[in-house]
Amino acid sequence: MLKKLTVYDMQGKKIGEIDSLFNGKVHPALMAQAVQMYLANKRCGLASTKTRGEVSGGGKKPWRQKGTGRARAGSIRSPLWRHGGVVFGPHPRNFHYGLSPKIRNAALLSALNEKNNQELILVLDKIALPQAKSKELKKLLDGLKIKEKVLFIFNKMQEDFQKAARNIPTVAMAMASGLNALDVLKAKKIVFSRDALDFIAGRLKPIP
């Protein structure tokens, strides 16, 4: 049975239902690929160690080669010594890589399909807070009975909403044009503005 999306007003009252765009298959492998890419691209890759040649000091041979009874040594910065260099240690690197737009969009659609299957997607007919205050946004969340982490998706930047959400750690925002699978999967519930849903409909195509 195809699920429908419930449309609410700003008071949290149900005003209707619309056909859901997210009744397709869920592809865990696609979502995993996309999430791994987004997380890898966030890595700074700044871990760094020094080799024996980079550690300060150690230019002088500690003792002569023969005749002391001690093991031969050429530098106090040998990896075998305390305070010596590191062998095969990490160095700054770039973890960035990409996936094709087709795969990224397919992963996003799959993530939205999963949320839709769990009935965790809501639609707001119009998003307009009376004031750019957290208390106004909390009223909206209470009206929608949302206590979990929620992602609001807009088609255009909402400065008033952004200001109101600053003091509420469970509220995240995203633009429909830049929405990705990681954003969707991190949130417990998804709230679309009506125009953002229309934009997503044009951006995504069903996965065969």
What are the tens digits of pLDDT across the range 85-124?
999 999 999 999 999 999 999 999 999 999 999 999 999 9
Read off the pTM: 0.84
Cα–Cα distance measured from residue 171 to residue 189, given in angstroms and rounded to the nearest whole number: 10
Same domain (yes/no): 64, 132: no
Domain of residue 57: give its range: 44-94
**Does the pLDDT of residue 130 top 90, yes or no?**
no
* Identity of the amino acid at 100: S
Cα–Cα distance measured from residue 64 to residue 153, given in angstroms and rounded to the nearest whole number: 72
What would the two tokens of residue 81 be?
């010594």
Across 188-208, average pLDDT: 85
Same domain (yes/no): 126, 195: yes
The answer as to whether 208 is a domain residue is: no
Across 154-173, average pLDDT: 91
Query: Where among 66, 94, 122 does a domain terminate?
Result: 94
Same domain (yes/no): 38, 53: no
Residue 87 is classified by DSSP as S
The answer as to whether 17 is a domain residue is: yes
Query: Where among 32, 63, 94 does a domain terminate?
Result: 94
Task: Supply the pLDDT for residue 20.
Answer: 86
State the angle between helix axes of 101-117 and 28-42 in degrees (0 to 180), rounded to the nearest 10: 120
Report in angstroms the alpha-carbon separations of 130 from 25, 66, 163.
39, 86, 13
**Does the pLDDT of residue 205 top 70, yes or no?**
no
Task: Supply the pLDDT for residue 168.
Answer: 93
Query: Where among 94, 110, 125 does a domain terminate?
Result: 94
Across 126-155, average pLDDT: 91
Task: Supply the pLDDT for residue 126.
Answer: 82
**Does the pLDDT of residue 52 top 90, yes or no?**
yes
CATH of the domain at 179: 3.40.1370.10
